[in-house]
Amino acid sequence: MTKDGLPGEASQEGQSRPVSLAGLVLVLCVALMGVMGVSITLPILPKLGAVFHQDAAGVALLITCFTLPSAFTTPVAGVLADRFGRKAVLLPGLLLFACGGMGCAFSDSFENLLAWRAIQGLGAAPLGILYGTLVGDFYKEADRPKVMGMVGATISFGTALYPAIGGFLGEMDWRWPFWISLAALPVGLLALGVPLERPHTGMDWKQYARDSRSIIFHSAAIGLFGLTFLCFCILYGPTITYFPLLADLLYKATPSHIGAVFTVASLGTAAIAMNLAWLGRKYSHRRLMLSATCCYVVAQTLMLVLPDAVSSLWWLTLPIFIGGVAQGLTFPLLNARMTTLAPTRNRAIVMAMNGTVLRLSQSLSPLFFGIGWSYIGWRGPYAMGIGVALVIGALVWRVYPVSSGKE
């Protein structure tokens, strides 16, 4: 049993298997692929709206159509990864992701573009869960926050680099950023050469189902699922979907300018993620999560008031930077704790359920915050964001009690 009273395997969880450099590189590359599908398209969202004659609601569908299909296929991917092994899910996912990106590049109508985005999202479904699953497979519990910090820093690097690349390429042609999806193919070649968790052929699948249900519906897991949903909600609504539209509306920003703001702001996430192991030794996880909540509130408040006070888009780098600090704290800590809830044989399905919650948040938040945009304009998503940030703080207070120490 784990310390949360969940099914566990002490012998497996207490020791690290030898991890090759190629294995670590694979984890980081899968994480990079998992964030590419959205990040690289951010700077061209206003341009895509203009090319295909879409308003803010139509542009938001480009995010929703990518994330929503994978919300329903992610649990399936988790079960398949536990049953048939990690490679059986990872390799088809990478191939489908690359093909979906090529289809987007060749789209000649908005309907075709949405369809190919959905296909690309299906390929991304296993990528978002497998990097966390692989960290759980490769590393013992004590080492996971450090490795998740490395993963978080790598994701931050990707979320900083992709908008810059997407903005630069989008200046020339909106189709070009989608071609970067072909980078998934060499990652697949790398995965072929790395030993991963093998299929559990002798597993009692009735016991597997019972254990998985007991973990997923445990109060500890439900609390973490709630935090995952809200943290991605505040990221994919006000920041990822509506900041590019705000920049275009108020500052007539080009794709390269929007990408540059995201690039600079992502340094906040990277700086925190790279130092997360040190912060985790110095401060409790509860304190770090509450600090992240404060960052969320400050970031959303500044986004609500700064555009009325400043004439340059670069001033908005500050609140997005502060929001990036919050992301750098919350995502690695939530993922690291999630991996401790399940033994190896159940880990992929638990991470898959977390991935489903994440994808639902990504899918629904553009629509949810779009209500605010529709009724009160650009201020709407950020006023709503302050409310969501306060709910995050209340849930952190409940999920991370004072007695939990570093957990």
Confidence of residue 403 (pLDDT cuts 50, 70, 90): low
Position 181 scores a pLDDT of 94
CA dihedral (357, 406, 151, 226) in degrees, to 10, reads 10
Token duo for residue 110: 């908005």
pLDDT-wise least confident of 3-17, 172-186, 237-251 = 3-17
Residue at token pair 């700064």: 306
Position 405 scores a pLDDT of 46
Condensed to tens digits (0 to 9), the pLDDT of residues 90-123 reads: 999 999 999 999 999 999 999 999 999 999 999 9
pLDDT-wise least confident of 113-122, 202-211, 285-294 = 202-211
**At 17, is the secondary structure helix, strand, or coil?**
coil
Question: What domains, with CATH codes, occur in the chain?
Answer: 19-198+206-404 (1.20.1250.20)
C-alpha radius of gyration, the chain, whole number: 20
Distances in Å between the alpha carbon of 131 and those of 78, 137, 221, 395?
A: 12, 10, 19, 26
Residue at token pair 């779009």: 370
Query: Is 392 a residue whose pLDDT tops 60?
Result: yes
Residue at token pair 């490395």: 150
Distances in Å between the alpha carbon of 15 and those of 144, 179, 215, 406?
A: 12, 41, 22, 20
Query: Is 406 a residue whose pLDDT tops 60?
Result: no
Mean pLDDT value across residues 311-319: 91
DSSP letters for 261-277: HHHHHHHHHHHHHHTHH
Q: Which residues does 8 contact at the CB level (< 8 Å), separation at least 6?
A: 1, 2, 342, 343
Query: Is 274 a residue whose pLDDT tops 50?
Result: yes
Arithmetic mean of pLDDT over the chain: 84
Q: State how far the Cα of 176 lies from the Cα of 167, in Å rounded to an integer.
A: 10
Query: Is 318 a residue whose pLDDT tops 90?
Result: yes
Mean pLDDT value across residues 282-296: 92
**At 14, is the secondary structure helix, strand, or coil?**
coil
Position 11 scores a pLDDT of 38
Position 15 scores a pLDDT of 43
Token duo for residue 120: 């690309």
pTM > 0.85: yes or no? no
Closest Cα to residue 328, out of 366, 349, 299, 370?
299
Mean pLDDT value across residues 127-137: 79
Confidence of residue 13 (pLDDT cuts 50, 70, 90): very low
**φ and ψ at residue 149, rounded to 5 degrees:** -65, -40
CA dihedral (267, 32, 406, 341) in degrees, to 10, reads 160
Condensed to tens digits (0 to 9), the pLDDT of residues 209-268 reads: 888 888 888 888 899 999 999 999 998 889 888 998 899 899 988 888 888 888 877 777
Tell me how many helices (H) and strands (E) the chain has: 19, 0
User: Which amino acid makes up residue 97?
Assistant: F
| 245 neighbors 59 (Cβ within 8 angstroms) | yes
